[in-house]
């Protein structure tokens, strides 16, 4: 049976006002694990089909990580309050200024101690607020450099999930785009259920698609099995349900039918794109005689793959398949190398203090362009929540990185932004909350939890908590 609505006693004659009692978590079920989540259809709203001012919309939390830091000279505005302008690295975000709260004056004391190098410590502490523990499973290279195997506690997304336990088909979604193989060390993971409990990101959009929408039929791992899967669609298994709920007898309005049709078209388009990217990556991975081409291909695909990952995350959030997500634009200290730039980002970051005209700024701008891509998809006015606001408006999206100045690998005056705000955080505003050394990021993390309705007094290591930041 479909979960598109609660049980109907008189489906032919039920009034629109009765239909408005329908659950927000609507989806079509198919074969296997397929469940196609749906956007808000008009019969889920008020009796007139309008978005109700007092309607409930879910509050969501997303973390966005970009690697290799950003020195304050490249982003810190001269002015605070509303009369500030995005400069340098943040210029790509200027069109979305009203949706973003810039938070300056924070340091990350959890990243200054514990296991690992500065990238590992900062990566583990991001959205966690605990130092990395020293474990026997930590990796130590031939130079004695240590890579922490685990963060020191749960990340914001997992803490919120454990406290709220929403009735969604997915607990959380972790995605990214990166070249290096996924390990559980703190370079590669930004979502943690606890110590030694990583949620590694999905870096293949096709696998992200299957995570959200399910698998119509398991693959047996053979090439022919993979080819057959490419020829099928998860939508094939919900045709019967679709025909049933769009029939005259079911009672949907023409507007709802059109919205449902458009949504499933968008799902199929995403599936086609994910399959194509998967095929390209597979072809690149099976070219042992050209490993450098493999790296270049993946680096050149960063924007394309991220765009697809961002669209999938946006769809999962707008359809309430999940309310918590972790998004990465690379692993810590990644040597991202884009065509036309003078060298890899990590190397240029090391050299930035002695050569401030190098292309590190251009890498930062590229990363902020990726963030803008995600924000624009979440802020799409064609997909409004039941209260009439965009998904972004009802989301707390925390953006940050693992180090501040990439040359010194410091953790003072780190760049943080909160986007959306869930109606609880003043956006279009530069909040100066400290001098860059005297207020810990933990207080920001607690403020994010409170903004999505959780009664949090502190988060992470108690030593680094003062009080939740007042960002209203």
Residue 113 and residue 105 in contact, taking contact as beta carbons nearer than 8 Å: no
Q: Is the pLDDT of residue 290 over 70?
A: no
Token pair in block for residue 80: 């605070």
Residue 405 and residue 89 in contact, taking contact as beta carbons nearer than 8 Å: no
d(CA 175, CA 313): 8
Minimal CA–CA distance to 99: which of 312, 389, 304, 306? 389
For the chain, percent of residues with pLDDT exceeding 90:
59
- pLDDT at residue number 173: 98
Token pair in block for residue 161: 């999930």
- pLDDT at residue number 209: 84
Q: SS3 string of 262-316?
A: HHHHHHHHHHHHHHHHHHHHHHHHCCCCCHHHHHHHHHHCHHHHHHHHHHHHHHH
- pLDDT at residue number 178: 87
- Would you give the end-to-end CA distance of the chain in angstroms? 45
Q: What is the pLDDT of residues 195-233, one digit of tens each?
A: 999 999 998 888 888 888 776 444 444 444 444 444 556
For 180-287, strand residue ranges (E) read 192-194, 197-198
Residue 345 and residue 68 in contact, taking contact as beta carbons nearer than 8 Å: yes
Alpha carbon of residue 74 to chain centroid: 24
Q: What is the pLDDT of residues 97-128, one digit of tens each?
A: 999 999 999 999 999 999 999 999 999 999 99
- pLDDT at residue number 273: 63
Q: What is the pLDDT of residues 365-389, one digit of tens each?
A: 999 999 999 999 999 998 888 899 9
For the full predicted model, state whether its pTM sits above 0.75: yes
Q: Is the pLDDT of residue 399 over 70?
A: yes
- pLDDT at residue number 296: 39
Domains located in the chain, CATH noted: 51-224+291-464 (3.40.720.10)
Instruction: Calculate mean pLDDT across residues 338-348.
Output: 95
- pLDDT at residue number 289: 33
- pLDDT at residue number 204: 85
- pLDDT at residue number 257: 74
d(CA 126, CA 108): 8
């Amino acid at each position: 049976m479909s979960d598109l609505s609660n049980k109907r006693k008189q489906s032919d004659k039920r009034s629109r006002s009765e239909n408005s009692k329908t659950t927000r978590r609507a989806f079509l079920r198919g074969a296997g694990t397929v469940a196609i989540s749906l956007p808000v259809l008009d019969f889920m709203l008020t009796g007139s089909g309008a978005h109700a001012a007092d309607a409930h919309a879910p509050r969501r939390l997303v973390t966005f990580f970009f690697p290799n830091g950003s020195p304050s000279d490249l982003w810190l505005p001269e002015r605070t309050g509303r009369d500030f302008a995005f400069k340098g690295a943040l210029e790509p975000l200027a069109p979305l200024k009203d949706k973003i709260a810039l938070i300056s004056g924070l340091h990350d004391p959890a990243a200054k101690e514990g296991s690992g190098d500065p990238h590992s410590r900062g990566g583990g502490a991001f959205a966690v607020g605990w130092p990395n523990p020293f474990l026997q499973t930590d990796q130590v290279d031939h130079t004695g450099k240590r890579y922490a195997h685990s963060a020191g506690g749960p990340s914001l997304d997992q803490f919120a999930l454990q406290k709220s336990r929403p009735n969604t088909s997915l607990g959380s979604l972790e995605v990214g785009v990166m070249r290096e193989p996924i390990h559980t060390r703190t370079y590669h993971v930004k979502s943690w259920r606890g110590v030694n409990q990583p949620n590694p990101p999905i870096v293949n959009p096709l696998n992200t698609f299957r995570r959200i929408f399910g698998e119509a039929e398991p693959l047996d791992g053979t090439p022919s099995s993979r080819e057959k899967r490419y020829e099928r669609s998860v939508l094939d298994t919900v045709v019967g349900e679709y025909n049933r709920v769009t029939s005259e007898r079911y009672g949907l309005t023409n507007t709802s039918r059109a919205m449902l049709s458009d949504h499933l078209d968008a799902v199929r388009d995403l599936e086609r794109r994910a399959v194509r990217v998967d095929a390209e990556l597979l072809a690149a991975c099976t070219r042992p005689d050209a490993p450098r081409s493999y790296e270049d291909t993946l680096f050149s695909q960063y924007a394309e793959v991220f765009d697809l990952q961002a669209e999938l995350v946006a769809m999962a959030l707008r359809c309430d398949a999940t309310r918590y997500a972790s998004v990465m634009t690379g692993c810590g200290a990644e040597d991202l190398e884009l065509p036309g730039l003078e060298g890899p980002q990590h190397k240029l970051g090391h050299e930035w203090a002695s050569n401030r005209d190098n292309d590190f700024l251009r890498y930062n701008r590229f990363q902020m362009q990726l963030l803008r891509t995600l924000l624009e998809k979440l802020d799409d006015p064609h997909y409004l929540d039941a209260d009439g606001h965009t998904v972004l408006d009802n989301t707390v999206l925390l953006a940050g990185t693992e180090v501040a100045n990439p040359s010194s690998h410091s953790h003072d005056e780190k760049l943080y932004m909160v986007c959306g705000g869930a109606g609880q955080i003043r956006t279009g505003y530069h909040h100066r909350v400290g001098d860059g050394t005297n207020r810990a990021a933990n207080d920001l993390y607690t403020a994010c939890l409170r903004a999505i309705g959780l009664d949090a007094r502190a988060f992470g290591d108690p030593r680094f908590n003062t009080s939740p930041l007042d960002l209203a």
